[in-house]
Structures are given as C-alpha cells and as structure tokens.
Amino acid sequence: MNKRIFEELFFKGLMILATTLVAGSLLLIVGTILYKGLPYLTLDMVTKTPDGGFYIGKEGGVLNAIVGSFYIATGSTLLGLLISIPVSIYLNFYIKQQSFLSNAARLSFDVLFGIPSIVYGAFGFIIMIYLGMRASLLGGIITVTLLVIPIMIRTLDEIMGTVPKELRDAAFSLGATRWEASKVVLRQILPGIITAILLSFGRAIGDVASVMFTAGFSDNIPISPDEPAATLPLAIFFQLGSSVPEVQGRAYASALILTIIVLAITLLINLVSKKFSKHKI
C-alpha cells in the first residue's frame, strides 16, 4: 500500500516540476527579452527609420520594420479574409457534408495548415520569379496571405461547427437561400471571425521564413507595393548579427517591441472571446 502511495507522490512531484518548466518557460523568455531589451528601448527606436550606418551603431530606429510588418500583416490578413470567408461558407452551406469534395477540401486545408512557412516562402519566391516581380511589399503580402489562408479557414470551420445545425435549418425552413442562411450564421459567429483575424495577424507579423525571400529589406518605409519592405523579425535578425554591442542591444529592444505587439494581440483575442460569448444562444 505504501509503495503505491509513494509512487503517486513521486510522479506528482515530477508533474509539478514539468509543469513549472513548461509554463515557466514563457516567463523566462519574456523576462530575458525584457531584461536585455529594455535598456535599449528608446523613443527613437520606435519613431525613426535607420540612418546610414545604423547597423554599425549610428542613429535611427526600426520604424521601417514596424511599419513594414504592419503593412504586410494587415494586407495579408485582409486578403486572406476575402478568400477564406467565401470558401468556409461554401464548405459549410453549399456542399453536402461527407461528399467527396467536402472531404478532399478539408484534408487539403489540413495539409496546407501543416506546411512550414519556409516552404511558403520558397513557393512565393518561385511565383515571383515566374511573374518577374522583385522582392517587395506586394510579394511579401501575397506569400504571407498563402500562409494565413489555412489558419483562417481552419478557425472559421471550427467555429461554424459550433453553431447548432437547427439554427441553419430554421433559416432554411423559412425559405432562405443558402447565401441568406449563411449570413444569419455569420452574424452569430462574428466574435469567432474576429478571433480568426487576430490569430492570423499575430502569425503574419511574427513570421520570418515567408518574408525572407519575398519582401526584401529596406531602410525606408515602403510607399508603393513594389518597393521592398523591412520586417521586424528580419530587422531583429540582422541587428543580432552585428558585432557592435550597441546594435546587438537594439536587436533585443526590437525583439521586445515585437513581443509586446504579440502579447497585446493575444490579450485582445481573450477579451474578444469573453465579451461576445454573453450574447450567444
């Protein structure tokens, strides 16, 4: 009897240790970035673009990268939404469930979801060469859109699945067309759509491998879509590679900026889900 209780206590101890490690690693990571980055986080960093010689220690900031990342994330999220919502509506309202097309589509989106961003980056690169495009804001947006579409479709699909079938049947019974019925359901899942947007935005702003080949890099804020655009993750990466300690410090500060943005988005997602669940059926 004692042996069994002892075994349980032993594993319970292990479990607590493991949980602390896993959950605590977040605190460790954010803490390290905060510790190393805060000293270098000046107002200049967020308001100025790099002057010449930024990477060897001269003046400037990473505004180019912040804006560039925002442009790409916003552009790809919007474009992704434009494609994902019709596709989700089609999958859930127009095709028969369990039909060949329905199953093939879902399998395909699952696969697309699992493809790493570096493959999307490589593919985006191939397309751009084929179309004769240079590395640019537009190239980055297109590639990241491809990355983001499976995320959105999957999130939307899951959320549509939580709407009771009877709600849809009620609309159909009143003589609604498939399009009209889908509008009723969309209204119901609005918070879910917002969550999908935020999730995709967060992914888009932090990803490197997809923009590496396709968006290029620039010290300036892009004015037109075919100019190259800097992104925060790449800016961090480049600054980190410098041998000047001042610049490395700025890399940590940039990392801190990115971390803050992502944490803010995560907070928003939680707030949105909590706020809207009051009115649901």
Partner 1 sequence: MQWRLVKDKSLSKIMLLLTVVTLSLVLFIAVGLYYRSIPILQNNSWGSLLGSSVWEPIKGNFGFFPFIMGTLWVTLIAIVIALPLCLLTTIYIKEYAPSSVKKVIIPLVNILAGIPPVIFGVWGVLFIVPLIQKYIAPSFVEFSTGYSVLAGGIVLAVMISPLIVSIITEVFNTIPQELKDASLSLGSTKWETIKKVVLKKAKPGIIAATVLAISRAFGETIAVLMVCGNVPKVPHSVLDPGYPLPALIANNYGEMLSIPLYDSALLYAALILFIIILFFNLISRIILHRLERKQN
Partner 2 sequence: MAETPHISVQNLNVQIGGNPILKNISIDIPDKKITSIIGPSGCGKTTLLKTFNRLLDNSAEVKVSGKVLVDGEDIYDPNAEVTHIRKKMGLLSQRPFPLPMSIYDNIAYGPRIHGIKKRNELDFIVEKHLTATGLWHEVKDRLHSSATRLSIGQQQRLCLARGLAVEPEIILGDESTSALDPVSTNTIEKLFLELKEKYTIVLVTHILRQARRISDYIIFVYMGEIIEFGPTEEVLLNPKEKLTQEYVKGYIS
Ramachandran assignment for 53, one of left (phi > 0), alpha (psi -120 to 50 degrees), beta (any other): left
Binding residues among 90-109 for partner 2 as defined by CB under 8 A: 96-100, 102
> What DSSP character marks residue 50?
P
Binding residues among 56-115 for partner 1 as defined by CB under 8 A: 83, 86-87, 89-91, 94, 104-105, 107-112, 114-115
Interface with partner 2 (CB under 8 A), residue from 14, 21, 28, 174:
174
Single-letter amino acid code for the residue at 195: T
CB of 188 to partner 2, least distance (A): 5
CB of 191 to partner 2, least distance (A): 12
What separation in angstroms does the CA of 180 have from each of 7, 183, 185, 195? 60, 5, 9, 23
The contact pattern for partner 1, residues 152-191, with x = CB under 8 A and - = no contact, is: -x-----------------------xxxx-----------
Select the binding partner of residue 187 from partner 2, partner 1, none (C-beta < 5 to 8 A, by kind): partner 2
Among residues 67, 73, 62, the alpha carbon closest in space to that of 265 is found at 73
Select the binding partner of residue 133 from partner 2, partner 1, none (C-beta < 5 to 8 A, by kind): none
Stretch near partner 2 under the rule CB under 8 A, chosen from 196-204, 239-247, 254-262, 273-281: 273-281
- Does residue 251 belong to the site contacting partner 1 (CB under 8 A)? yes
CB of 146 to partner 1, least distance (A): 7
Pairwise CA distance, residues 159 & 127, whole Å: 32
Cβ distance to partner 2 smaller for residue 56 or 101: 101
- Does residue 212 belong to the site contacting partner 1 (CB under 8 A)? yes
What separation in angstroms does the CA of 127 have from each of 76, 119, 122, 188, 225? 16, 12, 9, 38, 16
Say if CB 178 and CB 203 are below 8 A apart.
Answer: no
Distance of CA 108 to the CA centre of its chain: 20
Residue count, binding to partner 2 (CB under 8 A)? 25
Cβ distance to partner 2 smaller for residue 19 or 173: 173
- Does residue 134 belong to the site contacting partner 2 (CB under 8 A)? no
Cβ distance to partner 1 smaller for residue 71 or 252: 252
Burial 119-133 (b: 16+ CB within 10 A, else e): ebbbbbbeebeeeeb
Interface with partner 2 (CB under 8 A), residue from 8, 44, 51, 180:
180
User: Token pair of 133, please?
Assistant: 């495009």
Tell whether the torsion through CA atoms of 234, 253, 219 and 63 is positive or negative: positive
Ramachandran assignment for 175, one of left (phi > 0), alpha (psi -120 to 50 degrees), beta (any other): left
Binding residues among 183-202 for partner 2 as defined by CB under 8 A: 184, 187-188
Q: Which residues bind partner 2 (CB under 8 A)?
A: 96-100, 102, 164, 166-167, 169-177, 180, 184, 187-188, 279-281
